[in-house]
Each structure stands twice: as structure tokens, then as C-alpha cells.
């Protein structure tokens, strides 16, 4: 009897430990200089997360493409200056890659993100999947 109770206790501890581990938010990796031997391999085939930094000309081209995408697909609601609120949408300058992906592709938000607006006016644009990196580069560029 006593053994059975101990076993049940051990099992429940194991399960709750496993659950806590599974729920633990993934820590975002600390930025590691690409030259460091500790630099991690690229997370995805994305120029912004590869270990090799983009050449200035490549980054400039990406920002340019993002600006064109923004002006054709976002400006109508978010306005010309991403740092200011637009007619419908809030300011989006500095948006993270995760936020853009969640919002543009899946009509959602990253876990734990507090949206700037509680409305649901922005519809998903899955056709922009290949433009997320460019939009991210544009919305996070030092000079707009």
C-alpha cells in the first residue's frame, strides 16, 4: 500500500515536472556574433537570421522591397509613416518578425503579445509569406 502511494506521488511529480518543462517559454537565443565559434547555425533560410550578416547592399535591397510592399499593401490602413498610427491600423514601426508573421499570415498574435488594438479589422494576407523578411527589414530599418 505504502509503495503504491509513493509510486503515485513519484509519478505525479514526474508528470507535473514534464508539464512545467513543456510549458516553459523558449528563451530567445542571445545574440552571438557571427564570427564567434559559438554562433548557432541559421534557424531558417532567412537572410535576417542566417549567421552571415547581410552585406549593406543586400540589406538595402531588402529594405527597399519592404518599403514597396508596405506602400502597396499596408499604407491604406497604417499610413505613410509606420511610426505614426494610420487611418485604421496602429503604428507598426519596430514590429518583430514573430508579430508580422502571426498578424499577416495567421491573423493572430505571438503568445503573450498584448495587441495595440482589440479590433479584428486586418485580414490575413498569406500571399505575402515571401515578403515578411522584407517588411521586417523595412519596419526595423534605422532610416525610413
Task: Catalog residues that contact ligand HEC under the rule CB under 6 A.
Answer: 73-74, 76-78, 88-90, 92, 95, 99-100, 103-104, 115-117, 119-122, 125, 128, 135
Per-residue CA distances from 107 to 96, 126, 129 (Å): 15, 10, 13
As a whole number of angstroms, the distance between CA 59 and CA 134 comes to 9
Give the nearest distance from C-beta 30 to ligand HEC in angstroms.
24
Whose grid coordinates read 552585406? 55
Query: On the CB side of 16, how many CA atoms lie within 13 Å of its CA?
Result: 5
Instruction: Say if CB 139 and CB 94 are below 8 A apart.
Output: yes
Judged by beta carbon, residue 51 or residue 64, the one nearer ligand HEC is 64
Of 48 and 92, nearer to ligand HEC (C-beta) is 92
d(CA 140, CA 95): 7
Q: Among residues 41 and 112, whose Cβ is nearest to ligand HEC?
A: 112
CB of 35 or CB of 87, closer to ligand HEC: 87
Closest CB 48 distance from ligand HEC, rounded Å: 15
Amino acid at each position: 500500500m505504502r509503495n503504491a502511494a509513493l509510486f503515485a506521488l513519484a509519478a505525479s511529480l514526474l508528470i507535473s515536472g514534464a508539464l512545467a518543462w513543456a510549458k516553459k517559454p523558449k528563451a530567445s537565443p542571445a545574440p552571438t556574433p557571427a564570427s564567434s565559434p559559438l554562433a548557432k547555425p541559421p534557424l531558417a533560410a532567412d537572410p535576417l537570421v542566417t549567421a552571415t550578416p547581410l552585406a549593406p547592399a543586400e540589406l538595402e535591397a531588402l529594405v527597399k522591397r519592404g518599403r514597396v510592399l508596405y506602400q502597396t499593401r499596408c499604407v491604406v490602413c497604417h499610413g505613410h509613416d509606420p511610426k505614426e498610427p494610420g487611418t485604421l491600423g496602429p503604428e507598426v514601426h519596430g514590429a518583430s518578425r514573430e508579430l508580422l508573421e502571426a498578424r499577416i499570415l495567421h491573423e493572430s498574435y505571438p503568445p503573450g503579445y498584448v495587441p495595440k488594438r482589440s479590433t479584428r479589422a486586418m485580414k490575413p494576407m498569406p500571399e505575402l509569406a515571401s515578403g515578411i523578411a522584407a517588411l521586417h527589414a523595412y519596419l526595423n530599418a534605422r532610416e525610413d
